[in-house]
Amino acid sequence: MLEKEIARRRTFAIISHPDAGKTTLTEKLLLFGGAIHVAGAVKSNKIKKTATSDFMEIERQRGISVATSVMAFEYGGVKINILDTPGHEDFAEDTYRTLTAVDSVIIVIDGAKGVETQTRRLMNVCRMRNTPVMVFVNKLDRPCKDPFDLLDEIEEELKIAVRPLAFPIASGPDFKGVYNIYRENISLFKTIDRQTVAESETLTIDSPELDNYIAPYTNRLKDDLTLVEGVYEPFNKEEYLAGRLAPVFFGSAVNNFGVKDLLDCFIEIAPPPHSSQTETREVVPQEPKMTGFVFKIHANMDPNHRDRIAFLKICSGVFERNVPYLHVRSGKQIKFSAPHAFLAEKQSLVEASYPGDIVGLHDTGNFKIGDTFTSGEKLKFTGIPSFAPELFRYIENADPEKYKQLAKGVDQLMDEGVAQLFTSTLNGRKIIGTVGALQFEVIQYRLEHEYNAKCRWEPVNVHKACWIESDNAAQLADFKKRKYTNMALDKHGRDVFLADTSYALQMAQEKFPDIRFKFTSEF
Ligand code: G4P
């Protein structure tokens, strides 16, 4: 039973540069799964560029992102869990952490724009973890770059070998359809009254009537396919599963064209839940005892109900309602009477969840990102990264009577992974570090509205924070003494070097060769 449930699960994320079509593709996938029935049901999870200081927009976004954090549906006997990632680059850290909870990724690329910055960055994270990726080149109904150029660009920019499993027949106003290399048939692109009709599963490259449909591109397609077979090795699933080879599909998400080809191939080749590393041993999904970790915490938007939802990724065994589990960090046994599964558009009570599934747990402020739950074993999952922030400000209390509220608010927001807190060794002042500028506004707003506390930001000259470690205790002590004014502690009491310029960081690295300067740490 457990084995069977594991084998039929696919947990993944869709990543893209904003506007490439992630929301649209997600929605089409949900329509296939019958999880939603009308287009437009999935709200775009992005903050419009003009809305940087529009807090209602941020709040609205948080509302949406609870609802769309995890979208589960069944398709072709497979249980699919899509984990949503925020589109705005200031929330990239959230995305990085979500990527620790998936078994594979689909990357959406705008066929006219090619590979964009955000995609490149997110791919770096996938590469670090050898996550298998599939690529969907979107918007073929618009004039796009040459498909071979796009494939080269993906290979170069994303540093991964590619293998087209579909190939487009022209693009823009001339777009005729897509040849499915995997299934060896053609889907024709037609829009009638703005409705797309994908046609003809029976049409193959040798069909005599092909010309009637795709002229004047018939010979071009034949040449292109010959070239594809000449240039690319046959598709190798092992290479894909090892994160070294990306199968590529082409289509138009908004027209629901090419999406089914992608989905059908995805459920066939994408990996089921894999094993997870802990500090002491590897955990295999098939182990009967439950283990899981929290990769995301979401605060309730209603200030009168300050409870939060912790997102638990099940790594092994079966998670059951009303069964006590060990919260490893506190040593307490906790049982959950109302764990939630996430089905698109609604949350529902869940009796049993399997590896690969995400369960929503109610939290009154006791859980942190990275927390492990088990059936009793003291384990700690590793590899949930916290990235070196790049923007820094001193946080000051702007209302002396609300000191406690401020401390609590800051503490809880840090547990949610909104930003990172450092305490200067020099003067004990608190420094908040973030990956995006928007976070400072979000923190200030949320402190005021959720915790009734006021804060003020003051500039601090920090270029980069990095965690330092060394086996050479004398050198480490010497470094800390010399760099006394630039040292701080993170929330776990670990040493952090706050370099004020990139030059200072470079000099420090050269002068203290036994010290490891780390740009990511673990929760
Ligand atoms: P994102 O989540 O990656 O940010 O992108 P999203 O799906 O919101 O899509 C961004 C825009 O691109 C949307 O238009 C969407 O309709 C459009 N789009 C998505 N897929 C295709 C496609 O295959 N072809 C074409 N031509 N456009 C596509 P918008 O004007 O920003 O929003 P809307 O008013 O259409 O919803």
User: Measured between alpha carbons, how far is 348 from 355 in angstroms, rounded to an integer?
Assistant: 18
Same structural domain, 185 and 297: no
Residue where a domain stops, chosen among 232, 254, 269: 269
Let me know whether 249 and 280 are in one domain.
no
Q: Phi, psi at residue 412, to the nearest 5°?
A: -70, -35
> Does residue 84 sit in the same domain as residue 36?
yes
For ligand 1, atom 9, the nearest C-alpha belongs to 21
C-alpha 27 to ligand 1 mean position (Å): 11
CA distance 208 to 25: 34
Q: How many helices (H) and strands (E) does the chain have?
A: 14, 33
pLDDT of residue 299: 78
- Tell me which residue has its CA closest to atom 30 in ligand 1: 19
Count how many domains the chain has.
3
Residue 381, in any domain of the structure: no
Pocket of ligand 1 (CB under 6 A): 16, 18-24, 44, 46, 87, 138-139, 141-142, 252-255
- What is the 8-class DSSP label of residue 278? B
Domain contains 512: yes
Query: Distance from the CA of 36 to the center of ligand 1, in angstroms?
Result: 18
Q: Distance, CA 343 to ligand 1 centroid (Å)?
A: 23
> From first to last of its 523 residues, what are the pLDDT tens digits of the chain?
899 999 999 999 999 998 999 989 998 998 888 766 555 556 555 544 444 445 556 656 665 555 567 888 899 999 999 998 876 677 777 888 889 999 999 999 999 999 998 899 889 889 988 999 999 999 999 999 999 999 999 999 999 999 999 999 999 999 999 999 988 888 888 766 555 555 555 788 888 888 888 889 999 999 999 999 999 999 999 999 999 999 999 999 999 999 999 999 999 999 999 999 999 999 999 999 999 999 988 876 565 666 788 999 999 999 999 999 999 999 999 999 988 887 655 567 788 999 999 999 988 888 999 999 999 999 999 887 777 788 999 999 999 999 999 999 999 889 888 899 999 999 999 999 998 888 898 899 889 988 899 999 999 999 999 999 999 999 999 999 999 999 999 988 999 999 999 999 999 999 999 999 988 776 6
pLDDT digits (tens, 9 = 90+) for 360-403: 998 888 899 999 999 999 999 988 777 778 899 999 999 999 99
Q: Which atom of ligand 1 is nearest to the CA of 255?
A: 23
Which residue minimizes the CA distance to atom 24 of ligand 1? 139
Residue 72 lies in a domain: yes
Q: How buried is 236 (Cβ within 10 angstroms: 0-12 exposed, 13-18 middle, 19+ buried)?
A: middle
Query: In this structure, is residue 418 part of a structural domain?
Result: yes
Domain identity same for 166 and 301:
no
Question: 20 C-alpha vs ligand 1 centroid, how far in Å?
Answer: 7
CA-253 nearest atom, ligand 1: 23
> What's the 175 CA to ligand 1 centre distance in angstroms?
18
- Among the candidates 343, 374, 405, a domain finishes at 374
In a domain, 379, yes or no: no
For a mutational test of ligand 1's pocket, the pick from 175, 249, 254, 262, i.e. the residue with the most ligand atoms closer than 8 A to its C-beta, is 254
Among residues 212, 234, 269, the one where a domain terminates is 269
* Number of other residues whose CB lies within 10 A of the CB of residue 1: 8
User: Are 234 and 96 in a shared domain?
Assistant: yes
- Are residues 314 and 353 in contact, defined by beta-carbon separation less than 8 angstroms? yes
Residue with CA at minimum distance from ligand 1 atom 25: 139
Structure tokens at 502: 């990139």
How far apart are the CA of 172 and the centre of ligand 1, in A?
15
User: Do 223 and 167 belong to one domain?
Assistant: yes
CA of 108, closest atom in ligand 1: 3
* Distance (Å) from CA 252 to ligand 1 centroid: 10
Distance CA 369, CA 376 (A): 19
Residue 482 lies in a domain: yes
Decide if 382 is inside a domain.
no
Asked if 336 and 291 touch (Cβ cutoff 8 Å), the reply is no
Q: Which domain holds residue 320?
A: 276-374
CATH number, position 334 = 3.40.50.300
Clarify whether residues 301 and 234 are in a common domain.
no
Is 489 within the bounds of a domain?
Answer: yes
Pair 247, 287 in one domain: no
For residues 411 and 365, state if they share a domain.
no
- CA 342 and chain centroid, separation: 17
Cα of 21 vs centre of ligand 1, distance in Å, is 5
The two tokens of residue 30 are 């949900």
Do 252 and 127 lie in a common domain? yes
Same domain? 43 vs 180: yes
Here the CATH number for the domain that contains residue 431 is: 3.30.70.3280
pTM, to two decimals? 0.86
Mutating to test ligand 1, I would choose from 15, 19, 122 the residue with most ligand atoms within 8 A of its C-beta, which is 19
Domain identity same for 226 and 284:
no
